[in-house]
Structures are given as C-alpha cells and as structure tokens.
C-alpha cells in the first residue's frame, strides 16, 4: 500500500502543472494582499491573515483539478490496465489516490498559510501571528489554523465528489470541467437552498448547506459580530460532522463504482 501511495505521489510531483498551480496560489496571495494594501493602507496584517487572505477558494479549485485528473486520467491514457495487473486490489488503488489528494491539499494549505502570513506582514501593518485577535482574544495563528482546518473539511467533500465524477466519466477533460463546475455551481445552488430553508427547515441537512461552515467560525471562536449573515439552521460541529459523513458516503460509492468498472474498452 505504501508503494502505491509513493508511486501516486511521484506521478503527481513529476507533473509541471502541480508546481505551477502551487506557484500561482502563492503569487495570487501576494497580489491580492498588495491590492488590499492599495485600498486600505492602515489595515493590520492579522486582519487578513486570519482568513488566509481569502484565497481558500483558489486552493479548493486546484485540489478539485488534481482530484478530477487522478482517476479519469488513467482511463484517458489507458494506464488503468497496467495498474490493475499489479498485485493490488482496486480498493487499494483508489485509496492511494485519495490519500495523495489529501496530502496535496495539506501541502497547498501549508503553502497558503505561509504565503498569507508573509504577504500580510510585508504589505500591511506588520503584526506577530501570536498577537491577540477579536476572536475571543485568541492568537491570530490559532484562528488561521481553524480556518485552514475547516477548509480542509470542505476540500474532503469536494475531492470525494470530484473523484466520484472522474470514476464515472472516462474523459479527463470532461471530468475536470464537471469538477470545476461543481465547485463554482455549488455556490449558486447553495444560495437557492438558503431561500428554501425558510419554508422547508429539513433542507438544512442537504450537503450544499454544509458549505456555509466557514461562516460559523466566528461564532465558534467567540466573535458573533464577524459571522456571515446566513441562517443555516446548524451549528459548526453539526456541519463539520455532516461534511465528514457525506464525504465518506460519496467515497464508498466511488469505491463501489470503481470496483465494478469495466476497463476492457479503456
């Protein structure tokens, strides 16, 4: 199993696109921070750092692209047959790909955390990441880590859903396109769901409602006035648990489909 994980990581690391996307993440973080400086020169560094410079959406985008390519690429290139003739079960192959997506997401999160810290202190009024914040006096680094961990929960859900799409569709480009479409289209569906929540309260358990979890972080950390004006009907931990459950269910369904998939025509 460790050999499979290592091989998957090497395949990912050898792609130029992997490092280009991470480089763009860092570059755009610095660029956005500079734009903020132009618009608000007196802003403190930690005011932007705690939310990871609002760049988590771009991180989610590149993880979705990697997740969409992970399975569909094997069918597109015909390399899936070479994987299956090796002494590994399909469940192990899919698990190795999922683990590498999580590792890549973790690497991207670290890059974003460090670049956001550096950029905010370079362009805005410098502050120690250990300085107290409006979030119940918690250090800025703690708040930033909570945002990072929460976004990783969202990434798990996006990655599970995207892997499901890539396991169903043979075309790599189509899988990537649909994966990105799900990422951006979910915000539109989510907005419609919020309107429907007033009439149908049971809709609060739909997966799109869980994507509002970042808006519950200020309340969780003791700063309700920073909360988004969104009535999800659920608390932070209810949404966090639901995201994990949905991610696991989608992954199990993906694993079942992957095991049943006919590769004769690939």
Query: At a CB cut-off of 8 Å and minimum separation 6, what does 169 contact?
Result: 72, 175, 178
Distance in angstroms (rounded) separating the CA atoms of residues 259 and 28:
39
Distance in angstroms (rounded) separating the CA atoms of residues 207 and 236:
14
Within its chain, how far is the Cα of 154 from the centroid? 5
Within its chain, how far is the Cα of 155 from the centroid? 2
pLDDT on residue 181: 76
pTM score of the predicted model: 0.88
pLDDT on residue 251: 93
Pick 84 or 166 by higher pLDDT.
166
Query: If you average pLDDT over residues 112-138, what whole number do you get?
Result: 89
pLDDT on residue 226: 47
Q: How confident is the model at residue 105 (pLDDT cuts 50, 70, 90)?
A: very high
pLDDT on residue 52: 86
What tens digit of pLDDT does each residue of 216-238 get? 888 888 765 544 445 677 888 98
Nearest residue to 72 via CA among 195, 187, 162: 162
Q: Is the predicted pLDDT of residue 255 greater than 80, yes or no?
A: yes
């Amino acid at each position: 199993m460790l050999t499979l994980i290592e091989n998957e990581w090497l395949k990912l690391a050898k792609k130029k696109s992997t490092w280009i996307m991470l480089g763009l993440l860092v570059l755009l973080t610095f660029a956005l921070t500079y734009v903020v400086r132009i618009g608000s020169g007196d802003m403190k560094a930690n005011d932007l750092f705690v939310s990871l410079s609002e760049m988590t959406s771009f991180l989610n985008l590149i993880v979705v692209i990697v997740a969409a390519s992970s399975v569909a690429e094997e069918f597109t290139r015909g390399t899936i047959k070479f994987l299956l003739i090796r002494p590994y079960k399909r469940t192990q192959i899919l698990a190795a790909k999922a683990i590498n997506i999580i590792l890549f997401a973790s690497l991207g999160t670290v890059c974003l955390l460090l670049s956001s810290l550096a950029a905010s202190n370079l362009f805005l009024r410098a502050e120690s990441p250990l300085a107290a914040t409006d979030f119940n006096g918690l250090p800025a680094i703690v708040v930033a880590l909570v945002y990072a961990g929460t976004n990783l929960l969202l990434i798990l859900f996006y990655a599970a859903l995207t892997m499901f799409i890539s396991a169903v569709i043979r075309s790599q480009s189509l899988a990537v396109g649909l994966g990105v479409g799900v990422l951006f289209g979910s915000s539109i569906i989510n907005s419609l769901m919020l309107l429907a929540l007033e009439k149908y309260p049971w809709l609060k358990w739909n997966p799109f409602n869980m994507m509002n979890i970042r808006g519950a972080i200020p309340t969780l950390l003791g700063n309700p006035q920073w909360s988004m004006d969104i009535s999800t009907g659920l608390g932070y931990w209810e949404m966090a648990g639901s995201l994990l459950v949905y991610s696991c269910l989608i992954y199990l369904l993906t694993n079942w489909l992957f095991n049943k998939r006919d590769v004769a025509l690939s």
